[in-house]
Structure 1
Amino acid sequence: MVEWGMLLAPMLAAAMAAGPVCRIDDKRTDELSGLVATADGYVVVNDGADEASHRKIFYLRKDCSVRRTVSFPSRPRDTEDLQLGPDGTLWVADIGDNGSKRETIGLWKVAPGSSKPRLYRMAYPDGAHDAEALLIAPDGTPIVVTKSPGAAGLYTPDGALKSGATTPLKKAGDVSVPITTTANPYGFAGRLLVTGAASSPDGSRVVLRTYADAFEYDVTGGKVVEALVSGTPRTIPLPDEPQGESVAYTTDGTALLTVSEGSEPSLISYPLPSPPEPAPSPSPSRTQPVLAQKATVDESSRLPLVLFLLAGTGLVLAAAVALVRRRRPGSGRTGE
């Protein structure tokens, strides 16, 4: 009982402390699916936009107003995610494929200080997949995360990326999406589909998101795939976002940022809970054996402690029930 209370309390506190940072009121940013934070603001991108004015990379100020835009040299198919590489390179993931029909997917690379995206094409080894999430490992390796329900595939380039050529991808593993009960517009299915990803500024953590939650993994030695395949994530609920397909870390790594598709969306911040510190081990008396110490505890003194712990756990569970009852799934359309 005590352990569940310790685990639930930070998550509920983070969810309750979540709030809007600013509103993006530019009419061109109505299908946002990719997001990164920079020292002077944010960068966002729409997914498969029909209008040419919407098919741009939007650089925002800290108040979410548009500072400048960058155009693609040719029409992208379905840009779904953004990532910043360790060297400051911006990667645009042109990997969406709702019908699973594409022969190739693409990554657009924008070098630091450049305004000319360069396209690198890639091909899956096992047929087409829909995908909306991209990670860049500390060594610069792109990792495409598919939108397969429940078990997302991880794919990495099988060789160096070359402009003007198609690089084959190789299957690197699968990551199981944890099951939650977080409210979202798409119900159970919305909790199974990975719609975005992000790496912490120092590369020590990565996060995957669904329409309902974010799952944060610790990364050791730059081994991102290993962390996703075998690690145990921390869950950050993102309840009732209209159509949450993007996630990013703040530049200091203390919070997650999200933004949904839709007209004039708000950028939302979710403070990250600190992992609970392990309780210090009691030091046994030099003159009394450990077993003797346990035997001398007054049994009547346990009752107030038990009642306190039960009350604390009850408050946590009550808060969880109240949070779910207060929020109701909205309606929305699924995007590319």
Structure 2
Amino acid sequence: MRSIVIVGALSCALLGAAPASAAPEVRSAQFETYCSPIDPGLEELSGLTSMDGVLYAIGDSGTDHRLAVLDEQCAVARWLEVPVDPYDVEDLASHGGRLWLSDTGDNRARRDTVAITGMDPSTGAGELHRLTYPDGPHDAETLLIEPSGRPVIVTKELSGVSGIYVPVGDTSVDQLPSPGPTPLRKVGELAFERTATPGGPPFVAGSILATGGAISADGTVVAVRTYNDLYLFDVHDGDIVKALGNDPVVVAAPQQPQGEALAFDSDGNLLVASEAVASEAVASGAVSSDAANGPLPPIQMLRGAADLVVAERTDTQLATASAESESKSRWVLGAMAVAGVLVSLSVAYGVRTARRR
């Protein structure tokens, strides 16, 4: 997403448009450098996914004609040409042994259709699957694929209230017609509140804009990121849509110029990546030219990210069990008290009856 000036101006004009709920509790976390890309083809890194121990990455509009296969040091082992001419790829996912490119970027909200492109990770062969929104154009940078294969698109809205869309009929990605289009239906919303977490591009209310997503390898945790924070949701029975309606664990992301990409590895660690400094930020004077000409941002890792949700789930279960136990104890004590009163009344009645005789 390179249109920083456009997005920034609009978001500044809408500073009062976000929902007026309380800001979430944001946890701090220790990130470490996973690796540091050096290939200039990754300066607009926007999508990231891990499959079978291999990391794949793609940039957005202007660099999304090819996809990088990375080695353990984030050097490009090889490039795969995208099989169709993309418009604006903003996210990358993997499912069923294939790569799925989210060609859903639409900064100016003028596309009649968006698309998901399937790719073979070995040959690069693939096909286009067009999609249509039921309520007009949207910009979207988040693609999540449920264990069942159903794709879930989360839009990026300046209001901070993202729409959640799935194909009509809940069609899985590998069953979407090509080229389509397949109509989408709106199934929910994901509202973000502004946080005090630093980072992100200048002039943008980055903490309310959804810029990427990922699901853990076992399908039990889903992550959605903004420029500033990471939202981790507990997933039950593979239902991502339902999970996005629950309370998340919110973790402050490391400061990045324009953080958009994230992916879980097979161990439940979360990788986060960023585009380099935007040229528009340099032109505006918000960022120095020296910073723009510096090294690419590293890919950073939050170890045990999935475990944070597991721990939260355990705490919730223990709290619920404790509350139920306390409630049950109170019920038992109440019942005993009532029984005691009834016994006392019965005895008193018996004594009075005996005296009358």
* TM-score, with structure 1 as normaliser: 0.74
Aligned equivalent of 1:269: 301
Mapped to 2, the partners of 1:55 and 1:114 lie a distance apart of 15
| 1:41-190 superposed matches below 5 A | 41-49=54-62, 55-85=65-95, 87-111=96-120, 113-148=122-157, 149-159=159-169, 160=171, 161-185=176-200, 186=202, 189-190=205-206
Distance in 2 (CA, whole Å) between partners of 1:140 and 1:107 is 13
In structure 2, runs of 5+ residues without a counterpart are 1-24, 277-294, 326-332, 334-357
The answer to whether the aligner puts 1:257 opposite 2:271 as a matched pair is yes
Which of 208, 211, 217 aligns to 1:195? It is: 211
Query: In 2 relative to 1, CA 112–65 (structure 1 residues): closer, same or farther, beyond 3 Å?
Result: closer
Say yes or no: does 1:222 pair with 2:238: yes
Q: How much has 1:164 moved relative to structure 2?
A: 2.4
SS at match of 1:191: helix
- Asked if 2 retains the 8 angstrom alpha-carbon contact of 1:103 and 1:123, the reply is yes
Letter of the 2:103 counterpart: D
CA distance in 1, matches of 2:38, 2:204: 31
Shift, 1:40, TM fit: 3.6
Name the counterpart of 2:39: 26
1:257-305 per-residue CA deviation (whole Å, 9 max, x = no partner) reads 0111015231101222632654797x9xxxxxxx9xxxxxxxxxxxxxx
Summarize deviations over 1:33-61 as a string: whole Å, max 9, x none: 00012334310000001x6xx62011101
Report Cα offsets for 1:1-54 as digits up to 9, x if no partner.
xxxxxx87xx33xx2x212111110111110100012334310000001x6xx6
Measure the CA separation in 2 of the matches of 1:155 and 1:178: 20
In 1, Cα distance between equivalents of 2:97 and 2:255: 32
CA distance in 2, matches of 1:88, 1:127: 32
**Native 8 Å contact 1:26 1:65 kept in 2:** yes
Give structure 1 stretches of 5+ with no counterpart: 1-6, 284-290, 292-336
Partner amino acid, structure 2, of 1:264: L
**C-alpha separation between the residues in 2 aligned to 1:129 and 1:248?**
23
Mapped contact 2:127–2:179 kept (Cα < 8 A):
no
Which amino acid letter does the alignment assign opposite residue 146 of structure 1? Answer: T
Counterpart-to-counterpart distance in 1, 2:34 and 2:120: 28
Q: How many residues align?
A: 267
- Root-mean-square deviation (CA), in Å? 2.3
TM-score, scaled to structure 2: 0.70
Deviations 1:211-244 (A, max 9, x none): 0000000011111101102x11001111421100
Conservation of the 8 A alpha-carbon contact between 1:41 and 1:64: no
Aligned partners of 2:53 and 2:265 also within 8 Å: no
> Which structure has more helix as a fraction of its residues?
2
Given the superposition, is the C-alpha separation of residues 43 and 219 from structure 1 closer, same or farther in structure 2, using an over 3 Å criterion? same
Is the partner of 2:260 in helix, strand or coil?
coil
Distance 2:135 2:271 in 1: 33
Misfit runs of 4+, over 6 Å: none
Could you say if the C-alpha distance between residues 188 and 104 of structure 1 is closer, same or farther in structure 2, counting changes exceeding 3 Å?
closer
User: Residue type matched to 2:256 in 1?
Assistant: E
Alpha-carbon distance in structure 2 between the residues aligned to 1:155 and 1:96: 15
**C-alpha distance 111-46 of structure 1, shift in aligned 2 (>3 A):** same
Task: Specify the SS of the correspondent of 1:78.
Answer: coil
Q: Tell me: CA distance 1:33–1:105, structure 2 relative to 1, closer, same or farther (3 Å).
A: same
The answer to whether the 8 A contact 2:31-2:254 is kept is no
